[in-house]
Structure 1
Amino acid sequence: MEALSQVLTTLKTVTILCINLLLLKVTAAIQSLIRIFSGQRVFTTTQFLSYLEQMNPGVRYTKLLMKLQETPPELCAVCLSEFAVDEIVRDLKCKHVFHKDCLDKWLLQCRSTCPLCRTKLLPDEVVAGYRRLKDDQMGYDRSNEEIVFLVSHGNGFSSF
């Protein structure tokens, strides 16, 4: 009888957790629909990087590129590593050069400017759309953890 009581209590806790997670997913879906119908655009990471590539395409670092620079850069200002011939870099309109991957990581941290001179690299609409996606992801993860904590430590519930 004691074992049956424990099984039922555990089943009750698992059911409540599943219902809460389902409610979180439904809430996230409703928020997405509201954003779609309100005209707020959300950019995925792939769309964000694709737009960045259109605006500032990656090029091979060559001796010609070094000669075109007024003061040739010796280091990438993000990772502080030297440039090597044939590496893929982004030569920005502000005349600063960075490794492609370094600049992409910089911009994916919701920064929209050149790391050195703070010249705007992407339109505000694109950055805002990407930030909305990042905020939604962080909010969803945080809510998930809070629900699990509250349910597992709530009154009358046994922890696993």
Structure 2
Amino acid sequence: MGAFSRFIAHLYTLFLVFFTVLFLELVILVRSVAGTIGYNADDHPITTAHYLKLIEEKNPASRYRVAGKEPKECSVCLSVLEDGDEIRRLKCKHTFHKGCVDKWLEQDRATCPICRRLVLPEAIVVRYSQRRQIQPHRRRREFYGGSDEELILLLTSLHGNYMRRFM
């Protein structure tokens, strides 16, 4: 008889844990849906892929054609530009290998490596730098909107201290 009552107690505890997790998943779902209703793209950081797409739109890549007697060189890698190399000419008229300047633009604040003129509008650069500054643990907290302590408090307030049954 004692084994049966322990079995029922464990079954009850598992039932509470299951429905608590189900409730928390529903809360997360509702928060994520409610967060997208008032979504404003200007408030959130942009991804690296979107950032590079914006750079491509503002400063399209092309193929280098040798014109003139003196060969140009890429100021990032310091190698000579050869006929047919994929290049990116910025608005300031400086020319670089596409791969070299794209890596520079990803890590710097979207400026020309030579004259430091902005390649993209300041608002886009700020949104991209925000994405790079968010730490992984902050991303996780922003997903469900609270701290671990708040989650523990919610669990204990809903069902009491049922975890001691397992210990």
Q: Which range, TM-score by smaller chain?
A: 0.5 to 0.7
CA deviations on 1:78-98 (whole Å, 9 max, x unpaired) are xx4846643423222334444
Q: Aligned residue for 2:55?
A: 52
User: Is residue 2:23 matched to residue 1:19?
Assistant: yes
CA deviations on 1:43-76 (whole Å, 9 max, x unpaired) are 754543332112111122444499574xx23x6x
Larger radius of gyration: 2
Shift of the 7–34 alpha-carbon distance from structure 1 to 2, 3 Å rule, reads: same
Q: Which consecutive unaligned segments of at least 5 residues does structure 1 have?
A: none
Alpha-carbon distance, 1:29 to partner:
3.7
Q: Which consecutive unaligned segments of at least 5 residues does structure 2 have?
A: none
Q: Aligned residue for 2:112?
A: 114
CA deviations on 1:96-122 (whole Å, 9 max, x unpaired) are 444434544544458332344431110
Shift of the 21–91 alpha-carbon distance from structure 1 to 2, 3 Å rule, reads: farther
User: Is residue 2:124 matched to residue 1:126?
Assistant: yes
Q: Aligned residue for 2:13?
A: 9
With normalisation by structure 2, the TM-score equals 0.54
- Counterparts of residues 1-160 of structure 1 (less than 5 Å): 1=4, 2-36=6-40, 40=42, 44-45=46-47, 46-64=49-67, 67=70, 69=72, 72-73=73-74, 77=76, 80=77, 82=79, 85=82, 86-108=84-106, 111-130=109-128, 139-144=138-143, 149-150=148-149, 151=151, 156=161, 158=163
Count of residue pairs brought into register by the alignment: 151
1:28 & 1:157 partners in 2: Cα distance?
29
- Quick check: 2:61–2:98 contact (8 Å CA) kept in 1? yes
Matching residue's letter, 1:127: V
With normalisation by structure 1, the TM-score equals 0.56
1:133 & 1:114 partners in 2: Cα distance?
21
Matching residue's letter, 2:110: S
Shift of the 22–116 alpha-carbon distance from structure 1 to 2, 3 Å rule, reads: farther
User: For 1:9, what is the secondary structure of its paired residue?
Assistant: helix
User: For 2:120, what is the secondary structure of its paired residue?
Assistant: coil
Matching residue's letter, 2:20: I
- Quick check: 1:91–1:97 contact (8 Å CA) kept in 2? yes
Relative contact order, higher structure (CA 8 A, sep 6+):
1
Matching residue's letter, 1:19: F
1:98 & 1:8 partners in 2: Cα distance?
67
Name the % identity: 25
User: For 2:38, what is the secondary structure of its paired residue?
Assistant: helix
Q: What CA RMSD, in Å, does the superposition of the two structures yield over aligned residues?
A: 4.6
